[in-house]
Each structure stands twice: as structure tokens, then as C-alpha cells.
Amino acid sequence: MKQYIVDAFAEELFTGNPAAVLPCKKIPEPELMQNIAIENNYSETAFVVKTGTGTYDLKWFTPSGEIDLCGHATLASAYVVSEFVDPGVKELCFRTLSGELRAARDGNQVTLDFPVGKTRPVPVTEAMLAASDGLAREAYFDGGDLVIVIEDEEALARFVPNDERILRLEGVRDGLGLALTAPSRKYDFVSRYFYPCTYPRAYVMEDPVTGRAHTFMAPVWAKKLEKTRMTARQISRRGGVMTVRLEGDRVFLGGGVQLFMEGEIPFDL
């Protein structure tokens, strides 16, 4: 069977966030999906099954287990499906653990239709100040990813994460992520994103570009900037840019896609 390695939210190759995508005849057994994800050792491996014209089942696995939502691997899956499985399809609907997720392909750009992440202002705690090296000015949390706003994008770029302090944060220690974000001169906002990973050991990994985190940051910045259409950049080592459009309880995340590799694995799934 085919496997594709794709850089998502990438303006050029070797930027953005890489994901493996495997189009399958049926969803494989969980143990096999887990083993393939471990073998790939990417943050996410996606398994896609066509169920009808423009409709697909989609599952995401990290090296440590299945997850319920992943933006960049959905973007990568939409590209692979519209390029190799159903060439030319423009509108795609994925059935996932987070419900139906829709994507649209326009040239080399893919736009995702995701539910808005719930956020509410919360007090900045001593733990948040410690985890952000004293940079935290505002905080937002409502059971999803923790969003901490700081004042300066250059300070955010220089920030050196302390894994132990980040893992002490509410939410993050429960398997969710931490988004540090700041206003930007070139973009509407920039961010960095950290989340706990339990494979091969417990530590906090910085994610290159994260669609999920932007579902939580979008309502925060929409209110602060008084606009619903924004451009964001995740200023990780690889870096990546996405368009963000807020419409009611949905957020539309758009980005470029770059195909790195097309290969085969010795299974007929």
C-alpha cells in the first residue's frame, strides 16, 4: 500500500509540520495503526478510507496513541486524497472522533473547517509565570489547550521552554497543550505550541505548526484585534503560516501543502 509524507501549513519544502498519510481500503486494526505510527515516528500518522464521493473515514495516531483531533494531518490527508485517491475533488468531508470535519482544496492550498475551541479568561497563576519565564500577561482556558498571551514576539522567539514547569500546568499535565502567543508586526499574531509526549519518554515537545491550537487562539485574537480574518505564523524552528477565519462557532484554517515522499509499505490494507 502507498504511504505519503507531506509537509502541511508549509510555504516550501522542509517547513511546516510533516505527517504520514496512508489511504486504506478499510481502517486497519488499532494495534497495526499504532505500530505504523511508532515506526514512522512523526507526530501524526493519518489513516484514510474512502466511504463515498468526497466522504472519508479518518483516524490519527501519534507514536503514543490515537488522538481525537489533528489539524496538520487533516490538511495533509485532504491533499493526498484530492491528489491521489480522488483526483480533482475539491470538497472533502472526513468522519473523525471529533465529528465531521470538512476541507476544501484550491490549487496547492487547503482550508479546514473546524469547531472553535472553547476559551475563557482565567487568572495568570504563579505556575503560568514560571512556565512562561515570567512572560505571561493573560491566560485563557476552558478544558482544552491553555492559551497564554505575552506582549512581545521577539521575547516569544527567544523563549526557552522548561519541560518540568510546563508539565505542572493545569490541562497540560492532563495531556493537552500550551500555546504561547503574541501580537506581530508582520502577521496578526504569532505563536509557539508545546504538548506532552509519552513516547519514547515523558517530555514536552514543541510542535512545528498546529492547527488545533489555532482553534483556541482564534477567538482570543478575534476579540482582541476586532477582526475575524487573520494571518498567523507559528515561529517554531520549521515555521509555518496559516490563514484564520472565524465564522460563528467554526474556524477556517488555510495553508499550503508540500509533498515530500511517496512510498510503499508491505501491507495490503
Q: What per-residue confidence (pLDDT) applies to 203? A: 54
Distance CA 39, CA 217 (A): 32
User: Band of the pLDDT at 204, cuts 50, 70, 90?
Assistant: low
Per-residue exposure over 135-148, b if at least 16 CB sit within 10 Å of its own CB, e if not: bbebbbbeebbbbb
Q: How many alpha carbons fall within 13 Å on the CB side of residue 12?
A: 1
The answer to whether the CB of 112 falls within 8 A of the CB of 136 is no
24-31 LR contacts (CB < 8 Å, sep 24+): 24/48, 24/49, 24/269, 25/49, 25/268, 25/269, 26/269, 27/57, 27/59, 28/267, 28/269, 30/66
Q: What per-residue confidence (pLDDT) applies to 181? A: 98
Q: Which residue in 153, 139, 145, 161 sits closest to 191, CA to CA? A: 153
**% of the chain at pLDDT higher than 90:** 83
E-strand stretches of 16-149: 17-24, 45-52, 55-62, 65-67, 91-96, 99-106, 109-115, 121-122, 138-140, 146-149
Is residue 257 scored above 70 in pLDDT? yes
**% of the chain at pLDDT higher than 70:** 96
Q: What per-residue confidence (pLDDT) applies to 83? A: 96
| Mean pLDDT estimate for the chain | 93
Over residues 59-87, mean pLDDT: 94
Distance CA 84, CA 21 (A): 11
The per-residue pLDDT for range 1-21, each reduced to its tens digit, is: 999 999 999 999 999 999 999
- The cell numbers describing 216, all together, are 483556541
Is residue 105 scored above 60 in pLDDT? yes
User: Band of the pLDDT at 202, cuts 50, 70, 90?
Assistant: very low
Over residues 63-81, mean pLDDT: 93
The answer to whether the CB of 35 falls within 8 A of the CB of 22 is no
Over residues 118-141, mean pLDDT: 96
DSSP type of residue 101? E
Dihedral (Cα; 116, 190, 61, 102), 10-degree rounding? 40
Answer with the residue of higher pLDDT: 94 or 98: 94
For residue 199, give the 3-state DSSP assignment: coil
Over residues 22-44, mean pLDDT: 95
Catalytic residues: 44
For residue 67, give the 3-state DSSP assignment: strand
User: Band of the pLDDT at 227, cuts 50, 70, 90?
Assistant: very high
Q: What per-residue confidence (pLDDT) applies to 52? A: 94
